[in-house]
Chain A
Amino acid sequence: MSTASVPLPAWINYGVIPLINLILAFFFSGLVVWLIGENPFEALKYLVIGALGRGEGIGFTLFYTTSFIFTGLSVAVAIHAGLFNIGSEGQAYLGGLGAALVALSLDHYVPWYVTMPFAVIGAALFGAACAAIPAWLQAYRGSHIVITTIMFNFIVSSLMNYLLVRVLIVPKAMAPESRTFLEGGQMPKLDWLISMFGGKLGAAPLNFSFLIALVMCYLVWLLIWRTKLGYEMRTLGHSPTAAGYAGMSYKKIVMITMLISGGLAGMMALNPVMGASARLQIEFVGGAGFVGIAVSLMGRNHPAGIVLSALLFGILYQGGAELSFDMPAITRDMIVVIQGMVILFAGALEYMLRPAIVRAYQQITGK
């Protein structure tokens, strides 16, 4: 209680505390690795080299990062208006349908850069549509957005199952997936970006969506801190009564916020669907929507923080995959444990160490 009100300088709040949390997470992960009889330092080495060692590793890392930026932004936008959107997973999944429909209908006729803007819009529209019903229920009927967005994850999952198995599947094919898009329906790879730093992208799926994600970071920052709508969202997020006093429409803000949030989640689909596999596959989101919650929390709901924490999770995903390859004792599930540690310490227990750090800071500065 007494330390919560003590202000700390920004470099401690946004630098030292997250760093210490991260070190703790790695320490406990190391402990787990050591317990199953492997050398934690070796493991860390494999993880880092796997994620950042070669151009291809970096390409994979940034590919994952791209997805997490989109979903992280999606969660953050909603949080600023006081809404907890757990549905980014489903919104991204439905966004994939939007992107795929655009790609399937245009790829025969036009080059990728003509398809691209329509695909962005398509993905965003479908993602937003998926968020629209929970938003409406919250705004007009008072059902809780957390519950309804979770339910929509299941609804979308079943819907996509049906569509892929019955409708979009290539006739006579075994796998429930759409046909492969032609070049006009694909996002180009970013070989040049990696070669700028002297690396080789190789088979890594890093693609143009990465740049779209960065643009979205800027736009979200602009929205939240530089627009009238963002001001209204933040007012509502901090104090619904003050928003009412100021004449801001609760219903309108909830609807718009959730549509934007869903749209950002939907855009995540561009990355795997049009950038990596060039087709719509079953369960392609693979949990990125849920990772987005951790990414947003860790990044303090700020686009700059989200880029950094998305990168961290990108490294964990890619490095983790390499690690389980190099150290068979460390299975895929172990990687999930390590990721869980990061979420636990950097996200959920974010403030655990704050009182101690405040005391230390007060002693050092002699206050």
Chain B
Amino acid sequence: MSLDTQNEPAIELVGIDKTFGTVHANKNINLTVAKGSIHGIIGENGAGKSTLMSILYGFYQADHGEIRISGKPVSIRDSQTAISSGIGMVHQHFMLVENFTVLENVMLGAEGGQLLRKGVASARKELKRLEDDYGLEVDPDAVIEELPVGNQQRVEILKALYRGAEILILDEPTGVLTPAEADHLFKVLRVLRDQGKTIILITHKLREIMAITDTVSVMRRGEMVATRKTSETTVEELAELMVGRRVLLRVEKGEANPGKVLLSVKNLTVKDSRGVTMVDDVSFDVRAGEIVGIAGVAGNGQSELLEAIAGIRKPTSGEILIDGKPIAGADPAALRELGLAHIPEDRHHMGLVLKFEEYENSILGYHRDARYGRGAMLNLDGIRKSAEEQIAKYDIRPPNPRLKTANFSGGNQQKIVVAREIERDPTVLIIGQPTRGVDIGAIEFIHKRIIEMRDAGKAVLLVSVELDEIRSLSDRILVMFAGKVVGEKSGEAGEQTLGLMMAGIAA
């Protein structure tokens, strides 16, 4: 490696190779990470980043190759050995026990002795210290499934720190965070680095790479194709290294041409299972041929709003109309028939059945459609063929409709959902976090599709915590705060203005 790292290496990966069946996920990877540095890894969806990290963390065994920690070769056979070697991991998909409390999750596997009571007391103290030191605030007694995703992630980080991690791997940590939360996370990471911890950060957001990493490595189709000092590279160069071609980093769209109102929400109020008002008397319209974006910090009612429109959650009061028709009480199946398509925020719990093969997921929600089989039967050949078409059109990798969905990389899973919903040619499209975990090439592609939908005269409602995404796609922006729409701005509104509104400061 040509880079002069002033510090000794914390991690060296030498000749790491891994195949899954016919997929060569890691090809002879060499990587050196300097101690006390933040090292970014970028690459397209399915490039093999998570696989490489899973090998480092002991989830998978490499077929060939060696791992050295602080110069010493180690054999990491499982996550237990990884933890005792000082490696902590924050997974792309959280590994938390949903019905345990924060404290219980943090302690899990590190209870300290047979009797819980003593462990609990000291864990509580340690947790408090970690929270104070790094500003990672969460209520230790909150139950995980009731926490917003942003907070769940903090628990993941706390978990690793609690186990005394010296090397922290974060796989797409900001996918679920707002800009403010991400900034906060980066502050934490810098503090950790300055205390001598080593951090590996996987992300699709080049801006973050530029902002926080010291070194960045690029993977493409299983290979490590380049390593750069962050200060000596540019976003454009990195994008090109990743994708192998120039990437359009800006969204190109023409003037909107709004027509009649296709989706109308009137005085909608939604309560969650505990009776807390999540959506509070919200009203707005979405017209044919326009994209309305909903900006807001995660957990301010956007999710509940989407779910209510999609028919998954029953509103407490108010009205929703599609093309002028009230849809009170309609279930998601009936709504699909009315031309509503829904790309859910949470692909793992809602948008996909991870144990299904890809083609089975390509019809989820539309399986009753006559195209997929007459009467009671499914037409598997037809379904697989249409799945193959979607795979080709959306460049889903690997292009295998028989692969179990869990074995696709995160970004490719998202493309499966996007392909399914957009290919139905709906009249109203509601979207939650369309590009979470998706690489820049695919973001470009998905954004183009969304704009095409708009230009074809569809009504698009977009919820995203990515302010950039909202600003570049939306024709109108509504800001949600504490369940209410606190303001409406044109698509050109400045980041500053929106940020203040999202924080509930200026209306």
Q: Bound pair: A and B?
A: yes
Chain A interfacial positions (CB closer than 8 Å to B): 1-2, 5-7, 226-229, 231-232, 234-235, 238-239, 241-242, 244-249, 362, 367
Query: Are B333 and A242 neighbours in the complex by a CB distance under 8 Å?
Result: no
Query: Are B61 and A227 neighbours in the complex by a CB distance under 8 Å?
Result: no
| Most chain A CB atoms below 10 A, which of B360, B364, B373 | B364
Bound-state Cα–Cα, A239 to B310, Å? 18
Bound-state Cα–Cα, A42 to B378, Å? 52
Query: Are B78 and A2 neighbours in the complex by a CB distance under 8 Å?
Result: yes
The bracket for how many chain B residues form the interface is 35 or more
Partner of B365, one of A1, A226, A245, A249: A245
Bound-state Cα–Cα, A234 to B364, Å? 11
Bound-state Cα–Cα, A226 to B382, Å? 13
Bound-state Cα–Cα, A282 to B238, Å? 78
Given A1-B79, A2-B58, A226-B377, output 13 extra A-B contacts at Cβ < 8 Å.
Answer: A228-B368, A232-B367, A234-B356, A238-B356, A241-B350, A242-B350, A242-B351, A244-B312, A245-B342, A246-B364, A246-B367, A247-B334, A247-B335
Query: Are B349 and A239 neighbours in the complex by a CB distance under 8 Å?
Result: yes
Partner of B61, one of A2, A226, A245: A2
A228-B378, A231-B378, A248-B333 known; A2-B60 Cβ under 8 A:
yes
Give 4 nearest A-B pairs by CB, closest first: A247-B333, A247-B332, A246-B365, A245-B350
Bound-state Cα–Cα, A245 to B353, Å? 11
Q: Considering the complex, which residues of chain B in the window 314-358 have a beta carbon less than 8 Å from any beta carbon of chain A?
A: 331-336, 342, 344, 346, 349-356
User: What distance in Å separates the Cβ of A306 from its nearest Cβ neighbour in chain B?
Assistant: 20
Query: Are A367 and B376 neighbours in the complex by a CB distance under 8 Å?
Result: no
Q: Does B311 have its Cβ within 8 Å of any Cβ on chain A? A: yes
Specify the chain A residue showing the minimal Cβ separation from B336: A247
B60 surroundings in chain A (CB, below 8 A): 2, 5-6
A242-B352, A245-B344 known; A235-B373 Cβ under 8 A:
no
Specify the chain B residue showing the minimal Cβ separation from A222: B377
User: What distance in Å separates the Cβ of A227 from its nearest Cβ neighbour in chain B?
Assistant: 5
Query: Are B61 and A367 neighbours in the complex by a CB distance under 8 Å?
Result: yes
Q: Does B445 have its Cβ within 8 Å of any Cβ on chain A? A: no
Q: Does B77 have its Cβ within 8 Å of any Cβ on chain A? A: yes
A1 surroundings in chain B (CB, below 8 A): 59, 78-79
Q: Considering the complex, which residues of chain B in the window 74-127 have a beta carbon less than 8 Å from any beta carbon of chain A?
A: 77-79
Partner of B349, one of A5, A242, A367: A242
Query: Are B376 and A245 neighbours in the complex by a CB distance under 8 Å?
Result: no
Q: Binding site of B, secondary structure by majority: helix, strand, loop or mixed?
A: loop
User: What distance in Å separates the Cβ of A33 from its nearest Cβ neighbour in chain B?
Assistant: 38
A7 surroundings in chain B (CB, below 8 A): 20-21
B79 surroundings in chain A (CB, below 8 A): 1-2
B331 surroundings in chain A (CB, below 8 A): 247, 249
Bound-state Cα–Cα, A2 to B56, Å? 12
Q: Does B194 have its Cβ within 8 Å of any Cβ on chain A? A: no
A245-B312, A246-B332, A247-B365 known; A227-B351 Cβ under 8 A:
no
B333 surroundings in chain A (CB, below 8 A): 246-248
Query: Are B350 and A231 neighbours in the complex by a CB distance under 8 Å?
Result: no
- The interface bits of chain B over 291-311 (1 if a CB of A lies within 8 angstroms of the residue's CB, else 0) are 000000000000000000011
Specify the chain B residue showing the minimal Cβ separation from A229: B376
- The interface bits of chain B over 44-69 (1 if a CB of A lies within 8 angstroms of the residue's CB, else 0) are 00000000000000111101000000
Specify the chain B residue showing the minimal Cβ separation from A5: B59
A1-B78, A367-B63 known; A245-B336 Cβ under 8 A:
no
A241 surroundings in chain B (CB, below 8 A): 346, 349-350
Specify the chain B residue showing the minimal Cβ separation from A223: B376
Q: Considering the complex, which residues of chain B in the window 370-410 have a beta carbon less than 8 Å from any beta carbon of chain A?
A: 372-373, 376-378, 380
Bound-state Cα–Cα, A248 to B363, Å? 13
Specify the chain B residue showing the minimal Cβ separation from A358: B61
Specify the chain A residue showing the minimal Cβ separation from B372: A228
Chain A to chain B contacts (Cβ below 8 Å), 15 pairs: A2-B61, A2-B79, A5-B59, A6-B60, A226-B380, A228-B377, A229-B376, A234-B356, A238-B354, A238-B355, A241-B349, A247-B311, A247-B335, A247-B336, A367-B61
B365 surroundings in chain A (CB, below 8 A): 245-247
Query: Are A228 and B373 neighbours in the complex by a CB distance under 8 Å?
Result: yes
User: What distance in Å separates the Cβ of B65 from its nearest Cβ neighbour in chain A?
Assistant: 12
Bound-state Cα–Cα, A1 to B58, Å? 9
| Most chain A CB atoms below 10 A, which of B59, B332, B367 | B367
B373 surroundings in chain A (CB, below 8 A): 228
Chain B interfacial positions (CB closer than 8 Å to A): 20-21, 58-61, 63, 77-79, 310-312, 331-336, 342, 344, 346, 349-356, 360, 363-365, 367-368, 372-373, 376-378, 380
B380 surroundings in chain A (CB, below 8 A): 226
User: What distance in Å separates the Cβ of B480 from its nearest Cβ neighbour in chain A?
Assistant: 22
B350 surroundings in chain A (CB, below 8 A): 241-242, 244-245
Query: Are A362 and B61 neighbours in the complex by a CB distance under 8 Å?
Result: yes
Bound-state Cα–Cα, A362 to B60, Å? 12
User: What distance in Å separates the Cβ of A257 from its nearest Cβ neighbour in chain B?
Assistant: 15
Bound-state Cα–Cα, A58 to B336, Å? 55
Bound-state Cα–Cα, A193 to B58, Å? 55
Specify the chain B residue showing the minimal Cβ separation from A232: B367
Bound-state Cα–Cα, A362 to B59, Å? 15
Specify the chain A residue showing the minimal Cβ separation from B334: A247
Bound-state Cα–Cα, A242 to B368, Å? 15
Bound-state Cα–Cα, A362 to B377, Å? 40
B336 surroundings in chain A (CB, below 8 A): 247
Query: Are A228 and B367 neighbours in the complex by a CB distance under 8 Å?
Result: yes
User: What distance in Å separates the Cβ of B89 from its nearest Cβ neighbour in chain A?
Assistant: 12
A245 surroundings in chain B (CB, below 8 A): 310, 312, 332, 342, 344, 350-351, 364-365
User: What distance in Å separates the Cβ of B84 from its nearest Cβ neighbour in chain A?
Assistant: 14
Bound-state Cα–Cα, A246 to B21, Å? 31
User: What distance in Å separates the Cβ of B377 from its nearest Cβ neighbour in chain A?
Assistant: 6
| Most chain B CB atoms below 10 A, which of A7, A242, A244 | A242
User: What distance in Å separates the Cβ of A237 from its nearest Cβ neighbour in chain B?
Assistant: 9
Query: Are A235 and B353 neighbours in the complex by a CB distance under 8 Å?
Result: yes
Query: Are B353 and A239 neighbours in the complex by a CB distance under 8 Å?
Result: yes
Query: Are B367 and A231 neighbours in the complex by a CB distance under 8 Å?
Result: yes
Specify the chain B residue showing the minimal Cβ separation from A362: B61
Bound-state Cα–Cα, A246 to B334, Å? 10
Specify the chain A residue showing the minimal Cβ separation from B406: A5
Specify the chain A residue showing the minimal Cβ separation from B311: A247
B367 surroundings in chain A (CB, below 8 A): 228, 231-232, 246
Bound-state Cα–Cα, A248 to B353, Å? 13
A367 surroundings in chain B (CB, below 8 A): 61, 63
Specify the chain A residue showing the minimal Cβ separation from B407: A7
User: What distance in Å separates the Cβ of B321 from its nearest Cβ neighbour in chain A?
Assistant: 19
Query: Are A2 and B59 neighbours in the complex by a CB distance under 8 Å?
Result: yes
Bound-state Cα–Cα, A241 to B307, Å? 12
Bound-state Cα–Cα, A304 to B351, Å? 31
B311 surroundings in chain A (CB, below 8 A): 247
Bound-state Cα–Cα, A65 to B60, Å? 41
User: What distance in Å separates the Cβ of B346 from its nearest Cβ neighbour in chain A?
Assistant: 8
Bound-state Cα–Cα, A246 to B363, Å? 9
| Most chain B CB atoms below 10 A, which of A1, A227, A239, A245 | A245
Bound-state Cα–Cα, A242 to B344, Å? 10
| Most chain B CB atoms below 10 A, which of A2, A242, A247, A362 | A247
User: What distance in Å separates the Cβ of A234 from its nearest Cβ neighbour in chain B?
Assistant: 8
Bound-state Cα–Cα, A228 to B360, Å? 11
User: What distance in Å separates the Cβ of A366 from its nearest Cβ neighbour in chain B?
Assistant: 8
A245-B312, A247-B311, A247-B331 known; A228-B376 Cβ under 8 A:
yes
Bound-state Cα–Cα, A7 to B18, Å? 13
B335 surroundings in chain A (CB, below 8 A): 247
Bound-state Cα–Cα, A2 to B332, Å? 38
Bound-state Cα–Cα, A235 to B21, Å? 26
B21 surroundings in chain A (CB, below 8 A): 7
User: What distance in Å separates the Cβ of B166 from its nearest Cβ neighbour in chain A?
Assistant: 21
